[in-house]
Amino acid sequence: MNTPNSRVIALLKVIDNQVHSFGEGTYIGDLEPPEDIRWYDGQKNPCIKLDNGKTVWGCECWWGPAETIKNKYPEPEWEWIEVDINEKRASWRKEGEL
């Protein structure tokens, strides 16, 4: 179980030996997401502050302990692709998914 201030990685997807990741960051705790994140039912959600300064919510990603994920998908066997959470949100909105 992750505790506040633990290091985590937020993933969009893992497919065809590629890890699409929003990045590494710190699990802040369970908080209420802002209104523009509509994939939640009004309850608290895991909040992850990425090292790049952006925030991603548990309802937007798969996430877990950084070391566990790095060990499960080691480079160079797995290609890591960084995905910008703001660009992905814009894409979801355009597609009507957010």
Give 16-68 pLDDT, tens digit per residue.
999 999 999 999 999 999 888 866 677 899 999 999 999 999 999 999 999 99
pLDDT value of position 1: 66
Q: Which positions ≥6 away from 87 have C-beta within 8 Å?
A: none
87 assigned to some structural domain: yes
Amino acid of residue 62: W
78 assigned to some structural domain: yes
pTM above 0.85, yes or no: yes
43 assigned to some structural domain: yes
Structural domains of the chain, count: 1
Domain that holds residue 49: 6-94
Please identify which residue in the block is written with the tokens 């910008």: 84
pLDDT value of position 42: 75
Q: Which positions ≥6 away from 5 have C-beta within 8 Å?
A: 26, 27, 28
Asked if residue 79 has pLDDT above 70, the reply is yes
1 assigned to some structural domain: no
72 assigned to some structural domain: yes
Q: Which of 7, 31, 9, 11 is nearest to 88 (CA)?
A: 11
66 neighbors 8 (Cβ within 8 angstroms): yes
18 assigned to some structural domain: yes
82 assigned to some structural domain: yes
pLDDT value of position 14: 97
